[in-house]
Amino acid sequence: MNILIAPNSMKGTLNAFDFADTVEAALNASGFSFNLRKLPVADGGDFTGEVLCRAIEANPVSLKVKGPLGHPVLATFWISGTIAIIEMAEASGMKKVDVSLLNPLKATSFGTGQLIAEAIQIGCTEIWLALGGSATVDGGMGVLEALGFKFFDAKGREIPGNGENLSQV
Full set of structural domains in the chain with CATH: 1-41 (no CATH), 43-168 (3.90.1510.10)
Average pLDDT, integer, range 137-161: 95
Cα 103 → chain centroid = 19
CA distance 169 to 56: 39
Q: Tens digits of per-residue pLDDT, 35-45?
A: 999 888 888 77
Average pLDDT, integer, range 100-121: 95
CA distance 11 to 13: 6
Q: Where are the beta strands (DSSP E) in 13-133?
A: 35-38, 59-66, 72-80, 83-87, 126-130
Q: Which residue has the higher pLDDT, 50 or 121?
A: 121
pLDDT at 55 over 90: no
Work out the mean pLDDT of the chain and round it to a whole number: 91
- Identify the pLDDT of residue 118: 98
What is the chain's length? 169
- Identify the pLDDT of residue 142: 96
- Identify the pLDDT of residue 108: 95
- Identify the pLDDT of residue 45: 79
- Identify the pLDDT of residue 117: 98
Report the half-sphere exposure of 114 (CA within 13 A, side-chain side). 21
pLDDT at 159 over 90: yes
- Identify the pLDDT of residue 71: 95
Average pLDDT, integer, range 108-120: 98
Contact 109, 88 (CB under 8 A): yes
Average pLDDT, integer, range 97-109: 90
- Identify the pLDDT of residue 100: 86
- The DSSP code for 8 is P
